[in-house]
């Protein structure tokens, strides 16, 4: 006996209102790029330099400052314990993403302990 299978209806079309809004946004973006005056509000932000590489001692010091075991520190950074051990032994260097997270942990350690 074959079970009845219900087909889920998925719409791949856009409403006329959504399309009109998207079209208007694209026209404004093109006008802005051409140097024309638009109603767009532009916010420019300076991008900070990439985080500096951390030495194995700096990583150990940060973990000690936070009073964390390697296991807890790994959980807070969402990496494996082996990764923390490799950093602290100088066998591996943190990736750019990990360096950014370490920089945040150094300046604002409370964010690591925030549950949300």
Q: Are 84 and 74 in contact (CB under 8 A)?
A: yes
Residue 1 has pLDDT above 80, yes or no: no
**Which tokens is 17 given?**
């209102």
CATH architecture assignment, domain 56-113 = Orthogonal Bundle (1.10)
pLDDT at 19 (0 to 100): 92
Mean pLDDT of 82-89: 97
Residue 8: pLDDT band by 50, 70, 90 thresholds?
A: low
pLDDT digit string, tens, across residues 55-73:
999 999 999 999 999 999 9
For 10-37, write each residue's pLDDT tens digit. 667 889 999 999 999 898 888 888 988 8
């Amino acid at each position: 006996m074959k079970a009845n299978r219900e087909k889920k209806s998925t719409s791949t079309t856009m409403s006329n209102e959504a399309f009109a809004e998207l079209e208007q946004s694209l026209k404004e973006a093109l006008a802005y790029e051409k140097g024309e005056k638009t109603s767009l509000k532009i916010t420019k932000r300076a991008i900070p330099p990439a985080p500096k590489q951390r030495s194995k001692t700096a990583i150990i010091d940060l973990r000690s400052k936070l009073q964390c075991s390697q296991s807890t520190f790994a959980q807070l950074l969402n990496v494996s314990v082996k990764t923390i051990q490799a950093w602290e032994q100088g066998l591996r260097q943190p990736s750019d993403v990990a360096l950014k997270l370490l920089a945040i942990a150094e300046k604002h350690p409370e964010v690591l302990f925030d549950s949300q």
